[in-house]
Structure 1
């Protein structure tokens, strides 16, 4: 019997009121809104910095590329710290450092200062507000609705792109780029930090709760029983053990391509639009439309992923994004920007909850921070290379057509690799579990729970 067969059990644990995990989701939604939204807004300032500092697109791209590298190398570290100490302290410290450094960018006067503050400090600290930490917290609070909860969390980044990117464009035009960075940093310090302190807890056990809000049930003879959680065929005690299996490499390769395509657009989309005689404001608005469509798309994909195989959805997302990149080449600029916003919006951040949930399904949550941190590192390494190469290509040829074509080809490869994942064989979602899904407290279930890494 699989987990899907458990819904009719007469002794299924009960739920009372609104599960606190949803408040965790809301708080992390806002943190992602600020962190991801501000990073996606980097491209708004590229042309302005070129003019103010007398540098090329390639020079600004270097700062962004270093930022993606620093962020990538931070991912396994913050993931490991999350596995060991819990997500809450990692999130709070990371957001505090990121917010302070964001305010400091307002004092930067050249590309070297940008490299130091944005390339190293902000980007490294933002790794602690990434899915390597937020996704792990959510995975430990949710099991049956993990895909839905993850998608709501990631939608925070989409809403950040929808609101923060156009907002930064407006502030840039009306008040200057320095004011824009001060405002974003102040919001994170004044609202983000208090919210994390008040609401977020690393796992249900910190509040005497159980995953999914399930409570122990009492049988007719008075024994208190708890739900049995199945152990997947590839659950690991040590994160290194996962490196000898295929799924982590398949997921990491696809996520590497995700990094190539999202980073290049976040940094170069506005610059591409300007090269097509499209205004910065219009480009920012188009990115906002992309983010709005993506927010809905992420939620739909997340809910579907709790019912369908996640790897099929993941493959489809990469292939749809490939079509978006092709539109930038074959459609005239004024139409291409909106075609990309609509097609790309269907797929933009939907890879994140799917990849995080698949990693948890295959390997368990005990080492999820470290393992998903490694996948995130591959994402950021791909992004760093793409940001730099896209900038070099534009500086040399005055066009993004060749990089966009390469992006489309890599997305085709990522789609094929994702579809090849053997989810029904490797995922705990399809693992058999005992017919009786609850056992007395104190029975020999501890070993299984430990193997699973449920907390």
Structure 2
């Protein structure tokens, strides 16, 4: 029946071809993966209360998760080219299902590290924005940019949709109930991928016979994908620009996913806020993140991207320095912080991507994949850093202020980049 539906219905004859089905399935997959990954910040305090673990142990496991999420990005492209997006996505969702479901039986920090650190880290790392870019490139031509933007918004949308809902579930039920909910979501998404996802347009009989104009004429190269991944790294590490972008993006990851994404909710709760309220604040960041990223993309086409990054990192740094003084004392202050930090959250990405493409030319996308891996390494380091300092001091004051100072340092580092007109060709 499934095969009949997929091959006999002429989506392109109805002006609705199968490319849009692929887009919806991919968006939903990235949405669920993002939602599961964002759950970690909600579970820190429930794990502390239930198991008696300190925040440093929990942060260590979550840091491994963030590191693997970034490091697997470049390799997910290679795996997709070899085995196809459908298999990679199914494996990813199976890992997310196993990691979340089995965590209901964990007893020690080692179990937490294996399940939430390694298994869920690998599962989420296989479904990153890089995978979305590959799928958009294969299935779309005319609306490729639109689809990439939709996939890019999935991370913020996942945070926006799921955090308040999950926080409400935690308020009324145990953390294990939430675990069962998200594991079922992963399993249902896996079934959805199995039924509707296809690797390329030529996997669909109806599209082979009468291809719509929307489908891209993308043709795979014969190069070894894994060889290309390491070649881009080997040739770019000799460039000063690679390290300047990497250091600044390391700070970006540390100040977003690492500090705020992981520790903002516990910090709010320490100051007397409820988990639902804190999760709602983080979801509002997700709303403004969408607007901020879109605006940053428009600005990156018109202004010097080095100066855009300078202002993004500078303003983010001042915001983090002020955060400890408003988080427990001023609702207006924390509301302003949430709006501004949301606008600035992923605003650094479009200028960084643009600089990678301007500097490294045809290797720009692969080089950005490695810089994104370093971004997630920064997230991992900041997650451990914040958890350890909290265990030692009982608060996040030093954590947030030092994070702000590093952002100010990054704002001056990006000004050391060569002019965009001076392009580096890696060979």
TM-score normalized by structure 1? 0.74
Contact 2:32–2:186 (CA<8 Å) still a contact in 1? yes
What does residue 128 of structure 2 align with? 130
Give the stretch that moved more between structures: 137-146 or 329-338. Answer: 137-146
Contact 1:274–1:280 (CA<8 Å) still a contact in 2? yes
Q: 1:264, CA displacement in angstroms?
A: 1.8
Q: 1:210 to 1:406 in 2, by over 3 A?
A: farther
What does residue 274 of structure 1 align with? 269
Q: How many residues in Structure 1 have an aligned counterpart in Structure 2?
A: 396
Q: 1:252 to 1:149 in 2, by over 3 A?
A: farther
Mapped to 2, the partners of 1:75 and 1:64 lie a distance apart of 17
What does residue 383 of structure 1 align with? 379
Mapped to 1, the partners of 2:391 and 2:118 lie a distance apart of 24
Q: 1:144, CA displacement in angstroms?
A: 8.9
Say whether residues 1:111 and 2:109 are aligned partners. Answer: yes
What does residue 255 of structure 2 align with? 261
Given candidates 291, 296, 303, the residue that maps to 1:296 is: 291
- SS of 2:344's equivalent in the other structure is coil
Q: 1:299, CA displacement in angstroms?
A: 2.9
Mapped to 1, the partners of 2:97 and 2:60 lie a distance apart of 22
Aligned CA RMSD, in angstroms, stands at 3.8
Given candidates 336, 339, 346, the residue that maps to 1:339 is: 336
What does residue 5 of structure 2 align with? none
Using CA pairs under 8 Å that are at least 6 residues apart, name the structure with larger relative contact order, 1 or 2.
1
Q: 1:245 to 1:105 in 2, by over 3 A?
A: same
- Which residues of 2 match residues 2-41 of structure 1 at below 5 A? 24-41=22-39
What does residue 176 of structure 1 align with? 174
Deviation per CA, 1:133-157: give whole Å up to 9, x if none: 3334445667897765443322111
Say whether residues 1:250 and 2:248 are aligned partners. Answer: no
Deviation per CA, 1:72-113: give whole Å up to 9, x if none: 443343344345555443333223322332222222233322
Query: Which is helix-richer, 1 or 2?
Result: 2
Q: 1:178 to 1:294 in 2, by over 3 A?
A: same
- SS of 2:126's equivalent in the other structure is helix
Mapped to 1, the partners of 2:292 and 2:282 lie a distance apart of 15
Given candidates 409, 412, 423, the residue that maps to 2:408 is: 412
What does residue 398 of structure 1 align with? 394
Mapped to 1, the partners of 2:350 and 2:200 lie a distance apart of 18
Give the stretch that moved more between structures: 70-79 or 159-168. Answer: 70-79
Mapped to 2, the partners of 1:266 and 1:128 lie a distance apart of 20
Mapped to 2, the partners of 1:427 and 1:144 lie a distance apart of 30
Q: 1:242, CA displacement in angstroms?
A: 3.0
TM-score normalized by structure 2? 0.79
Q: 1:202 to 1:319 in 2, by over 3 A?
A: farther
